[in-house]
């Protein structure tokens, strides 16, 4: 694994930087949804399901299942889309999945619809 030196702290990270950002949504074991961004989708989902990592929200709601993932052009674009997704009510998110059938598996939110939200 390539090691990269952090310019600020001088510490070395174990993995190279990844400029490809994703917005993702997982369904928790209690049926709630969690939305986030990451530059390593597979690792982030594993973290959500691990005993010591993942978001505080998902720690007590394991296991989580990926229901939506969308590649974003930059971290900024991913954060903006995440914000739009988080503003939508659950019913609207579910409507996207059912009407469009474009999810991970069959449950993907249509990004173009989200971008048109105020």
Number of domains in the chain: 1
pLDDT score for 79:
96
Q: Does residue 27 lie within any of the structural domains?
A: yes
Residue 90 pLDDT greater than 60, yes or no? yes
Q: Does residue 95 lie within any of the structural domains?
A: yes
Q: Does residue 101 lie within any of the structural domains?
A: yes
Answer yes or no: pTM beyond 0.85: no
pLDDT tens-digit series, residues 47-80: 999 988 889 999 999 999 998 888 888 999 999 9
Domain with 73, as residue range(s), is 19-108
The CA distance from 68 to 33, in Å, is 10
pLDDT score for 52:
84
Q: Assign residue 60 the CATH number of its domain.
A: 3.40.1440.10
**DSSP letter for each residue of 40-109:** -HHHHHHHHHSSS-S-HHHHTS-S-EEEEEEEESSHHHHHHHHHHHHHS-HHHHHHHHHHH--SBTTB--
Q: Does residue 8 lie within any of the structural domains?
A: no
Q: Does residue 25 lie within any of the structural domains?
A: yes
Q: How many CA atoms lie within 13 A of 25 on its CB side?
A: 26
């Amino acid at each position: 694994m390539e090691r990269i030196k952090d310019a600020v702290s001088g510490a070395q990270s174990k993995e190279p930087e990844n400029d490809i950002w994703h917005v993702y949504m997982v369904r928790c074991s209690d049926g709630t949804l969690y939305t986030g961004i990451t530059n390593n989708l597979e690792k982030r989902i594993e973290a959500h399901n691990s005993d010591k990592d993942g978001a505080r929200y998902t720690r007590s709601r394991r296991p989580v299942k990926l229901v939506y993932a969308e590649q974003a052009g930059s971290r900024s674009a991913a954060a903006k889309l995440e914000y739009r997704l988080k503003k939508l009510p659950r019913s609207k998110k579910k409507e996207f999945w059912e009407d469009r059938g474009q999810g991970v598996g069959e449950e993907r939110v249509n990004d173009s619809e989200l971008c048109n939200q105020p």
